[in-house]
Structure formats: structure tokens, C-alpha cells
């Protein structure tokens, strides 16, 4: 089965849109192939994702898995692809089904126990997601505040793989982060330092 998700790759200080495709087909021997100019941090993600899936109570696919990160000529060097690839694996192996993948982008680094670690460039990714007219962006909880600075995009903070799956199954009450509202009057802007 084929799964398709949206995510972002950081290039300098800007985020570029990346599509994650995961395809699982029956095979005699399990094998995982990762293509799409993945640098070391992304290549290693396969091992993290496998254990995170198992430790979160899902089963890891034992067929031939092809993961494609597109555009193929954009170098990808970040751990933020862990979460979209994991969701792709779940979907392609029939453990998850959601209509929301076409409207929500996902970023996040996985720990082996399935919790999420913060990523770099969440603000740029939120900006890119808004410019791409997506409905929302799922980010690790510790990046939620910086991403929520961007107006006009729904930033959803997730703490773990299980919570993320819950969101896509629409079975989880989400904590939507709203940016701190600033007065819209022109001239001097009043800031409050977050405590």
C-alpha cells in the first residue's frame, strides 16, 4: 500500500516543502530502502522509527519498504523526518487510516520510546506551511510556542507518536497553540515577556 504525507526540510533559514512517500509491498525477506538524497541523520532514522513503533505498541512492517523523500534533488539532513516517515509506515501497513494527511503537515524527531524531541526551524516551517495554504502543522510540543508565532496556521503540539496517531484518527483532544496575541494598533507594539 502507498502512503503520502507532507513535511518540511530546512534549507538555510527557510523551509522547503517535502513529500514523504512510503510504499510497502509483500516480499520474502524484510528490507527497507530509503531514497531522496538523505544525509546521515535521515538514514539513521529508520532504526529510530522501527523501535519507536514497537515501543509505542504498533507492529513494524516485515515486508519490502520503500521510503521516498521528494524533491529528490534537495539534500535532507535533519531528524525532523522521523515522525512523517513513522506515520507513513503505519498507514502503508494498514495500521492507520486518515483523511487529514492532505491538509496537515508533520515534523518531529522520535525518541526510541515514541516521544517527540524538538527540531530546528519550526518557525520557518510554520511560515512555509501557511504560504502553502495547509490547514495545520503538527510539531513537537517543545517547538509549539515558536511555531505558533505565525498567524493564519493551526499549530498542533504533539508529545508522542501515539498522540500524533490519535490526532489523525480524530480520537484525541488536541491542544491547539495560539500565538500570544499582540495589540494590532500601529506604532509602538507592546510586548509582554513570557514568564
Partner 1 sequence: VDFADVNGQEMAKRAVTVAAAGMHHLLMIGPPGTGKTLLARRIPTILPQLSRAESLETTQIWSAVGRLNARQPLMVLRPFRAPHHTISEAGLVGGGSTPSPGEISLAHNGVLFLDELPEFNRRTLEVLRQPLEEHCVTISRAMGSLTFPAKLMLVAAMNPCPCGYRGDPRRRCNCTSFQIERYVAKISGPLLDRIDIHVEVPNVPFRELKDDTTGTTSAQMREQVQIARDRQRRRFQREPSTVNGSMTPPQIRRYCKLDAEAEQMLQAAMEEMGLSARAHDKILRVARTIADLDDSETITAYHLQEAINYRTLDRRYWAS
Instruction: Say if CB 164 and CB 52 are below 8 A apart.
Output: no
When binding is defined by CB under 8 A, the residue of 127, 137, 139, 156 that contacts partner 1 is 127
CA dist 80 and 7 (Å) reads: 9
Element (DSSP H or E) covering residue 33? strand 31-35
Q: Taking CB under 8 A as the rule, which mask of x and - marks residues 161-180 in contact with partner 1? A: ------------------xx
CA dist 68 and 23 (Å) reads: 8
When binding is defined by CB under 8 A, the residue of 56, 121, 167, 168 that contacts partner 1 is 121
Provide the 10 A C-beta neighbour count for residue 14: 13
For partner 1, the closer of residues 153 and 165 by Cβ is 153
* Residue 47: all three cell numbers together: 532504526
Q: Does position 158 bind partner 1 by CB under 8 A?
A: no
Question: In the bound complex, what is the minimum distance in angstroms from residue 180's beta carbon to partner 1?
Answer: 7
Which residues bind to partner 1, rule: CB under 8 A? 10-13, 39, 75, 77, 118-124, 127, 142, 145-146, 148-149, 179-180, 182, 189, 191, 193-195
Amino acid at each position: 500500500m502507498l502512503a503520502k504525507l507532507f513535511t518540511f526540510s530546512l534549507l538555510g533559514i527557510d523551509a522547503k516543502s517535502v513529500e514523504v512517500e512510503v510504499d510497502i509491498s509483500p516480499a520474502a525477506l524484510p528490507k527497507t530502502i530509503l531514497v531522496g538524497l538523505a544525509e546521515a541523520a535521515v538514514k539513521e532514522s529508520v532504526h529510530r522509527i522501527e523501535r519507536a513503533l514497537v515501543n509505542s505498541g504498533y507492529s513494524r512492517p516485515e515486508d519490502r519498504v520503500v521510503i521516498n523523500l521528494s524533491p529528490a534533488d534537495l539534500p535532507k539532513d535533519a531528524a525532523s523526518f522521523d515522525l512523517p516517515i513513522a506515520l507513513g509506515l503505519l498507514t502503508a501497513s494498514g495500521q492507520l487510516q486518515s483523511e487529514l494527511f492532505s491538509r496537515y503537515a508533520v515534523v518531529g524527531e522520535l525518541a526510541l520510546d515514541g516521544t517527540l524531541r524538538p527540531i530546528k526551524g519550526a518557525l520557518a516551517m510554520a511560515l512555509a506551511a501557511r504560504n502553502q495554504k495547509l490547514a495545520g502543522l503538527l510539531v513537537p510540543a517543545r517547538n509549539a510556542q515558536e511555531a505558533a508565532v505565525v498567524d493564519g496556521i493551526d499549530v498542533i503540539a504533539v508529545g508522542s507518536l501515539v498522540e500524533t496517531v490519535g490526532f489523525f484518527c480524530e480520537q484525541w483532544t488536541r491542544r491547539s497553540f495560539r500565538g500570544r496575541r499582540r495589540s494590532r494598533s500601529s506604532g509602538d507594539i507592546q510586548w509582554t515577556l513570557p514568564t
